[in-house]
A and B are shown apart, each in its own frame.
Chain A
Amino acid sequence: MKLVNIWLLLLVVLLCGKKHLGDRLEKRSFEKAPCPGCSHLTLKVEFSSTVVEYADPVVPCNETRWSQKWQSSRPLRRASLSLGSGFWHATGRHSSRRLLRAIPRQVAQTLQADVLWQMGYTGANVRVAVFDTGLSEKHPHFKNVKERTNWTNERTLDDGLGHGTFVAGVIASMRECQGFAPDAELHIFRVFTNNQVSYTSWFLDAFNYAILKKIDVLNLSIGGPDFMDHPFVDKVWELTANNVIMVSAIGNDGPLYGTLNNPADQMDVIGVGGIDFEDNIARFSSRGMTTWELPGGYGRVKPDIVTYGAGVRGSGMKGGCRALSGTSVASPVVAGAVTLLVSTVQKRELVNPASMKQALIASARRLPGVNMFEQGHGKLDLLRAYQILNSYKPQASLSPSYIDLTECPYMWPYCSQPIYYGGMPTIVNVTILNGMGVTGRIVDKPEWQPYLPQNGDNIEVAFSYSSVLWPWSGYLAISISVTKKAASWEGIAQGHVMITVASPAEAESKNGAEQTSTVKLPIKVKIIPAPPRSKRILWDQYHNLRYPPGYFPRDNLRMKNDPLDWNGDHIHTNFRDMYQHLRSMGYFVEVLGSPFTCFDANQYGTLLMVDSEEEYFPEEVAKLRRDVDNGLSLIIFSDWYNTSVMRKVKFYDENTRQWWMPDTGGANIPALNELLSVWNMAFSDGLYEGDFTLASHDMYYASGCSIAKFPEDGVVITQTFKDQGLEVLKQETAVVENVPILGLYQIPAEGGGRIVLYGDSNCLDDSHRQKDCFWLLDALLQYTSYGVTPPSLSHSGHRQRPPSGAGLATPERMEGNHLHRYSKVLEARLGGPEPRALPACPHLSWAKPQPLNETAPSNLWKHQKLLSIDLDKVVLPNFRSNRPQVRPLSPGESGAWDIPGGIMPGRYNQEVGQTIPVFAFLGAMVVLAFFVVQINKAKSRPKRRKPRVKRPQLMQQVHPPKTPSV
């Protein structure tokens, strides 16, 4: 069954303490620094990937409530998304200049919220809900806490962690570290316990209450990978359908791709990624396409927008301010901005989850050099969003708003590989936002209008789309293919798709008449002649299974703090580095999202199967055999499968209150062995681990299996490893020599293909990879594509006689496994799971082209994003430019430098009147003088390192790589 476990990832910077950063990093998990009276800065950080010990790590301070305890029996589930950060502090002692650049900022002022405040907008009459860890009753930063409710099993409404207070502060704090909308009605929903526990069922009840209370904006600084938690996902849709604008954090699992968190990955939710104050995507920010659509489709673009999420200042638990990092922080920045924006709109009935998202993404500022699967539409621009929202007419729009497959890097990965005749169709999954109504539909069909002067007739497109656009949104997936007549043509082809969206009439329109909106989607692609067969690789996506829904364990058993295989196993998610490498080597990589019976093997040199968990239809086994006989080559990177180990890695999931038993090992070896049996090959149930050298490359074998059986005339390479199976099962260490790990085989028949087996996939996978083996993949592709046996392998000292299979067990499928529940191949039958009937291969019906004698504009990006709004023509009201200065934080000032009472306009400050700017100015001058002195001091000191280092060096240490050294 599925998991809905929820934990908090709370890693927090405390602006206090005295110790040296370097000393503390060595300890990896830190004690809570004694705070009173401290004058210097230190940070307290714990990082997930640093804890890799076998034994349960000792947590040095149990009182430190921030620490994530990895002993949790619950796997990574929905979590609160903030990160420890504040690395700039570490550099304070090195150079004042860096300190100046990297100070925690007043995020509301940085985003120019004060311009809207001065116009009198402060979030009044907007109901904003914070679903988090609660808030204390009399927190000094909040003036309009309408209600606090508790949905946990702890009898308190107060925040015992600080996460909820911080989030609420970013949205609505009125003093010190100011939020965006101090006058908004705050509704505090406590859905996390102080032990960082939460449940879907608590959320469901709390969400129902939010609907009843007619909440306008709801912040969810939480997330987890389980997008198949239907009760939760359905409920989020229900909220959106009830006009609640949902804002959620995209996740802190970056920089790995395929790490988007739910609910931020839903198309009705505003998913927010994080950047730092220098407009770099924060390393932690989750990214990559959504993975719901795999294997047959292609993911949607997320996050929707990005904003400041690193070193943002917000409210402390009892008052004061502190800095925090994470998409947990970025989310309330957007939620606060949205709340403020809602209060600026006169015609409130025009504000809905779609129109707000349309305004945010149409106004966002694109960051240079960053692709759309990292930044979405770019960086939040509050004032431009204000302009758009206040001239908004209900309409539909698209995300992305154009498709330019030639535009790099923004349209990566599309721009990384041109399309050609005979290739798998390229799919772009566009999200339709419909600001006209909660439900809508596409009228007739989308139309494809190729531009004849621009060779638009050289491509064909096919559509699949939501039959009903609900709630406020839907999808339009566009499959693009090259026509036969352009099989040897090279050039750019352009055209556009037109769709008309209709929604039922709203109150003010004529009775019965539907509202409609027509949107144009420009398309531009690069076509090349089809590359030769030897250059084309087909990636088997169809046989990759992952969490959710089932428990598919990680391929590397040491990664116990992230035990689930949840990144999609796609060349554009966690196999991205491998894909980039293959492209750089001149290979073309396509993705097979359907059974082996659905591709033309004559087109491809090599079928690449990595870490496959799925079973195979008998028809697939037969077809693959024929294909290999006819010259298709096969490279299989397998993984471990040992039923004893699988039983051992079961765990009790506290949140679903049941035992979780893996449904396969790292790979499904029993199924692979059936596929391979015709060639007299098999993998074993062994489980090996160790470092080794192959062809003078350092390699690491992470929880891999061995080859049990291989044909006599094949080449087999062996290595000496630790028996990890024994280690897991009996805690004993044993070294095994001559473990066969790599086998190369040429089908003897005329024109036959080649088969390569390797026992571990970890060296190709970006998640938790320690040493890549792309060089090996190159060598193997040389072999499969061109028949060149790399001398480094064939003449290796590690070459041994191929194993005959005698004496080595090949694994049987684990008794009682539930693979059939998640399999596309198996179904439950009396007497055990059996293969289903082979499904029909996907059939695309190409849209009938309606050619136009038109020429596309050269810059598709600049085309109008929303109708009747021309951003260049909208003029902002006469904003006052003498906005209060944002002062830098200097060491020793800690939280004390905030101007008491704040600089917020409105009722709260009326008595203070005009004196505040004067104070601000004087304060700024004092600080400026301080820094002038500091800079002069720094200049007189000997230089410690190059002056133009872009990032503080310590940042690298503080952010350990995803692949820790064991």
Chain B
Amino acid sequence: MPPGPRASRVPRPGRRAPRPRRYGEPRGHGVAPAPEEEEERAVRDRNLLQVQDHDQPILWKVQFNLGNSSRPSNQCRNSIQGKLLITDELGYVCERKDLLVNGCCDVSVPSTKQHCCDGCLSNGCCSAYEHCVSCCLQPSKQLLLERFLSRAAVAFQNLFMAVEDHFELCLAKCRTSSQSVQHENTYRDPVAKYCYGESPPELFPA
């Protein structure tokens, strides 16, 4: 055999990489099922290979339109992570310095905007995470999100089963995910990579 890495470069049976997951393909389980159930399901899935076993609609617990009144206090949850910007649960996006002690954006500052879609493309992908969340919180996006939950979100059951309301859904939906990458280690679109919409980011020409 010749030397060099190539000598060992043929994928071997039993060590093959998993095939690429397609959008909407089921993957993983939600919260841990009981062991018997787990066993049973594993066997069944193996037998059913091609037939996707997700006829039953998932019972999402997401509550839209809790409205301002239902919030327990004048405290806001917000997007926590931002380097420069932050989005509160009312959909206001502001600079970090304009975040009030209660976690809400200071709406009296002119640069604070509600339901701001700056840098978001028509495919629902934005260049800033905070703008994606803010845009996603527009009441008009509810239909889109519900459609997403009913179709595509099956692939992300773990995640979206745990989401409780519109704000959490937007926080989770806008994050980069397995949908955001090509060849695993590069973004499909290195700029507009935060998506509230149904489709993954446009594939950026390599």
Q: A: which residues have CB within 8 A of B?
A: 1-4, 54-56, 69-75, 137-138, 147-153, 155-157, 193, 195, 197, 199-202, 204-205, 208-209, 211-213, 226, 228-232, 234-235, 238, 241-243, 438-439, 468, 470-471, 504-505, 507, 511, 514, 553-554, 557-558, 560-561, 563, 645, 648-652, 654-658, 703, 724, 727-729, 731
Chain A nearest CB from B84 CB (Å) reads 7
The answer to whether B30 and A657 have CB atoms under 8 Å apart is: no
The answer to whether the Cβ of B27 comes within 8 Å of any Cβ in the partner chain is yes
The answer to whether A212 and B168 have CB atoms under 8 Å apart is: yes
The answer to whether the Cβ of B206 comes within 8 Å of any Cβ in the partner chain is yes
Residue among B8, B12, B80, B184 with the most chain A CB within 10 A? B184
Find the B residue at minimum CB distance from A655: B184
Residues of chain A with a CB closer than 8 A to B99's CB: 504
The answer to whether the Cβ of B107 comes within 8 Å of any Cβ in the partner chain is no
Chain A interface: which of B37-45, B54-62, B118-126, B141-149? B37-45
The answer to whether residues A152 and B12 also contact, given A209-B162, A560-B5, A731-B1 and a CB cut-off of 8 A, is no
User: Can you give 25 contacting A-B residue pairs, CB < 8 Å?
Assistant: A54-B3, A69-B15, A71-B15, A73-B9, A73-B15, A149-B31, A152-B18, A155-B42, A156-B38, A157-B32, A195-B14, A204-B181, A208-B172, A208-B177, A213-B162, A230-B187, A438-B80, A504-B97, A504-B99, A505-B101, A507-B101, A651-B6, A652-B9, A657-B20, A728-B2
Chain B nearest CB from A562 CB (Å) reads 9
The answer to whether B32 and A137 have CB atoms under 8 Å apart is: yes
Chain B nearest CB from A508 CB (Å) reads 8
The answer to whether B184 and A243 have CB atoms under 8 Å apart is: no
Residue among A74, A205, A505, A728 with the most chain B CB within 10 A? A205
Chain A nearest CB from B160 CB (Å) reads 9
Q: Besides the contacts A149-B30, A231-B184, A651-B9, what 10 more A-B pairs have beta carbons closer than 8 Å?
A: A3-B185, A73-B11, A138-B35, A153-B18, A153-B27, A197-B18, A209-B159, A553-B4, A652-B9, A728-B3
Measured CA separation A75–B5 after assembly (Å):
9
Find the B residue at minimum CB distance from A69: B15
The answer to whether B158 and A205 have CB atoms under 8 Å apart is: yes
Measured CA separation A837–B19 after assembly (Å):
43
Residues of chain B with a CB closer than 8 A to A703's CB: 3
The answer to whether A438 and B81 have CB atoms under 8 Å apart is: yes
Measured CA separation A3–B184 after assembly (Å):
8
The answer to whether residues A238 and B184 also contact, given A511-B101, A557-B4, A652-B9 and a CB cut-off of 8 A, is no
The answer to whether A153 and B186 have CB atoms under 8 Å apart is: no
Find the B residue at minimum CB distance from A662: B5
The answer to whether A156 and B42 have CB atoms under 8 Å apart is: yes
The answer to whether A149 and B28 have CB atoms under 8 Å apart is: yes
Residues of chain A with a CB closer than 8 A to B83's CB: 241, 439, 468, 470-471
Measured CA separation A199–B180 after assembly (Å):
13
Residues of chain A with a CB closer than 8 A to B4's CB: 553, 557-558, 560, 563, 645, 648-649, 728
The answer to whether residues A56 and B1 also contact, given A193-B18, A226-B185, A439-B84 and a CB cut-off of 8 A, is yes
Measured CA separation A650–B8 after assembly (Å):
10
Find the A residue at minimum CB distance from B171: A212
Find the A residue at minimum CB distance from B46: A155
Within 8 A of A (CB), among B16-37: 16-21, 27-32, 34-35
Measured CA separation A943–B104 after assembly (Å):
75
**What DSSP secondary structure best describes chain A's contact surface?**
loop
Residues of chain B with a CB closer than 8 A to A727's CB: 2-3
Measured CA separation A151–B26 after assembly (Å):
11
Residues of chain B with a CB closer than 8 A to A1's CB: 183, 185-186, 206
Chain B nearest CB from A233 CB (Å) reads 10
Tally of A-B residue pairs with Cβ under 8 A? Answer: 219
Measured CA separation A201–B175 after assembly (Å):
12
Measured CA separation A960–B177 after assembly (Å):
41
The answer to whether the Cβ of B156 comes within 8 Å of any Cβ in the partner chain is yes
The answer to whether B177 and A204 have CB atoms under 8 Å apart is: yes
Find the A residue at minimum CB distance from B101: A507
The answer to whether B3 and A558 have CB atoms under 8 Å apart is: yes
Residues of chain A with a CB closer than 8 A to B159's CB: 205, 208-209, 212
The answer to whether A149 and B2 have CB atoms under 8 Å apart is: no
Q: How many residues of B contact A (CB 8 A)?
A: 64
Measured CA separation A208–B101 after assembly (Å):
26
Within 8 A of A (CB), among B154-170: 156, 158-159, 162-163, 168
Chain B nearest CB from A70 CB (Å) reads 6
Chain B nearest CB from A241 CB (Å) reads 4
Residues of chain A with a CB closer than 8 A to B14's CB: 195
The answer to whether residues A212 and B172 also contact, given A151-B28, A231-B181 and a CB cut-off of 8 A, is yes
Measured CA separation A703–B2 after assembly (Å):
13
Q: B: which residues have CB within 8 A of A?
A: 1-12, 14-21, 27-32, 34-35, 38, 41-42, 45-46, 80-84, 96-97, 99-101, 156, 158-159, 162-163, 168, 171-172, 175-178, 180-181, 183-187, 190, 206
Residues of chain A with a CB closer than 8 A to B35's CB: 137-138
Residue among A209, A241, A658, A724 with the most chain B CB within 10 A? A209
The answer to whether residues A201 and B9 also contact, given A69-B15, A208-B175 and a CB cut-off of 8 A, is no
Identify which of B10, B17, B21, B187 contacts A231 (C-beta below 8 A).
B187
Measured CA separation A197–B29 after assembly (Å):
18
The answer to whether A650 and B3 have CB atoms under 8 Å apart is: no
Residues of chain B with a CB closer than 8 A to A229's CB: 184-185
Measured CA separation A446–B59 after assembly (Å):
55
Measured CA separation A507–B103 after assembly (Å):
8
The answer to whether B5 and A2 have CB atoms under 8 Å apart is: no
Measured CA separation A464–B77 after assembly (Å):
35
Chain B nearest CB from A886 CB (Å) reads 34
Residues of chain B with a CB closer than 8 A to A195's CB: 14-15
The answer to whether A230 and B185 have CB atoms under 8 Å apart is: yes
The answer to whether B8 and A71 have CB atoms under 8 Å apart is: yes
Measured CA separation A408–B176 after assembly (Å):
45
Residues of chain A with a CB closer than 8 A to B12's CB: 69, 71-73
Measured CA separation A208–B163 after assembly (Å):
12
The answer to whether B80 and A241 have CB atoms under 8 Å apart is: yes
Top 6 nearest A-B pairs (CB, nearest first) are: A201-B178, A651-B9, A654-B17, A241-B81, A563-B5, A4-B185
Measured CA separation A2–B183 after assembly (Å):
8
Measured CA separation A505–B103 after assembly (Å):
11
Identify which of A202, A204, A243, A655 contacts B80 (C-beta below 8 A).
A243
Residues of chain A with a CB closer than 8 A to B8's CB: 56, 70-73, 560-561, 651
Residues of chain A with a CB closer than 8 A to B84's CB: 439, 468
Residues of chain B with a CB closer than 8 A to A234's CB: 176
The answer to whether A560 and B3 have CB atoms under 8 Å apart is: yes
The answer to whether residues A205 and B3 also contact, given A150-B29, A470-B83 and a CB cut-off of 8 A, is no
The answer to whether B38 and A157 have CB atoms under 8 Å apart is: yes
Chain A nearest CB from B76 CB (Å) reads 12
Identify which of A151, A238, A560, A656 contacts B7 (C-beta below 8 A).
A560
Residues of chain A with a CB closer than 8 A to B18's CB: 152-153, 193, 197, 199
Measured CA separation A619–B29 after assembly (Å):
59
Chain A nearest CB from B184 CB (Å) reads 4
Identify which of B3, B16, B156, B185 contacts A200 (C-beta below 8 A).
B185
The answer to whether B6 and A649 have CB atoms under 8 Å apart is: yes
Chain B nearest CB from A116 CB (Å) reads 29
Residues of chain B with a CB closer than 8 A to A212's CB: 159, 162-163, 168, 171-172
The answer to whether B3 and A439 have CB atoms under 8 Å apart is: no
Measured CA separation A731–B2 after assembly (Å):
5
Chain B nearest CB from A604 CB (Å) reads 36
Find the A residue at minimum CB distance from B19: A153
Residues of chain A with a CB closer than 8 A to B34's CB: 137
Identify which of A197, A209, A230 contacts B158 (C-beta below 8 A).
A209
Residues of chain B with a CB closer than 8 A to A553's CB: 4-5
The answer to whether residues A200 and B184 also contact, given A155-B41, A195-B14 and a CB cut-off of 8 A, is yes
The answer to whether A147 and B183 have CB atoms under 8 Å apart is: no
Measured CA separation A554–B2 after assembly (Å):
15
Find the B residue at minimum CB distance from A689: B3
Find the A residue at minimum CB distance from B10: A73
The answer to whether residues A656 and B2 also contact, given A155-B45, A195-B14 and a CB cut-off of 8 A, is no
